[in-house]
């Protein structure tokens, strides 16, 4: 019997790895837009200067949708509608733990003006030193 004198192949075949990476890239590109969280709000468009928030601290964002429903966008409660009393209670707790926490209101442009002003006044009474408004830049 004759032995074959072939040497073992020492090259790594990377073609399957490239195929896997391309498939994963396509999957991430398709699913990434679906992962955006938040409440659908049509923000008013104005020219304004950006609010300066500390880099390492996430601001507390209170959203008001077209129906006047409140949402807190800082914790796991971001998708759950909240009553104003419960929202203020949570805000007071967060502000007592961190008085420098930035509080921002993100309201739909078609929400009644009085509702936004009432929310801002309630947030001030809950301990917020200042309340900012989020808008879309022109």
Q: What percent of the chain has pLDDT over 70?
A: 77
pLDDT digits (tens, 9 = 90+) for 18-69: 999 999 999 999 888 776 655 566 666 667 666 565 556 778 888 888 888 8
- pLDDT for residue 7 is more than 70: yes
CA pair distance 46, 135, nearest whole angstrom = 7
pLDDT at residue 138 tops 70: no
CB contact at 8 A, 101 and 57: yes
Q: What's the confidence (pLDDT) of residue 26? A: 93
Beta bridge partners, 72, equal 62
pLDDT at 23: 94
Domain boundaries, the chain: 45-137
Give the chain's mean pLDDT: 79
Q: What pTM did the predictor assign?
A: 0.59
pLDDT, position 25: 94
* Residues β-bridged to residue 46: 137
Residue 21: predicted pLDDT? 94
Q: Is 127 exposed, middle or buried (0-12, 13-18, 19+ CB in 10 A)?
A: middle
pLDDT at 51: 59
- Tens of pLDDT, residues 63-119: 888 888 888 876 555 677 888 888 888 888 888 888 888 888 888 888 888 888 888
Query: What torsion do the CA atoms of 15, 17, 22, 25 make, to the nearest 10 degrees?
Result: -170
Q: Does domain 45-137 have CATH number 3.30.420.270?
A: yes
What is the rounded CA–CA span in Å between residue 65 and residue 78?
13
Quick one: which of 50, 56, 134, 135 has its CA closest to 98? 56
Helix/strand/coil percent split, the chain, to 5: 40, 15, 45
């Amino acid at each position: 019997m004759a032995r074959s004198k072939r040497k073992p192949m020492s090259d790594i075949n990377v073609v399957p790895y490239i195929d896997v990476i391309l498939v994963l890239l396509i999957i991430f590109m398709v699913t990434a837009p679906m992962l955006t969280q938040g409440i659908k709000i049509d923000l008013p468009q104005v020219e304004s200067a950006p609010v300066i928030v500390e880099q390492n601290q996430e601001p507390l964002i209170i959203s008001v949708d077209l129906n006047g429903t409140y949402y807190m966008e800082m914790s796991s409660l971001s998708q759950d509608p909240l009553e104003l009393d419960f929202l203020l209670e949570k805000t007071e707790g967060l502000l007592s733990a961190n008085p420098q926490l930035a509080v921002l209101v993100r309201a739909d442009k078609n929400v009644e003006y009085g509702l936004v002003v009432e929310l801002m006044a309630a947030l001030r009474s809950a301990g917020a030193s200042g309340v900012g408004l989020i808008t879309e830049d022109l």
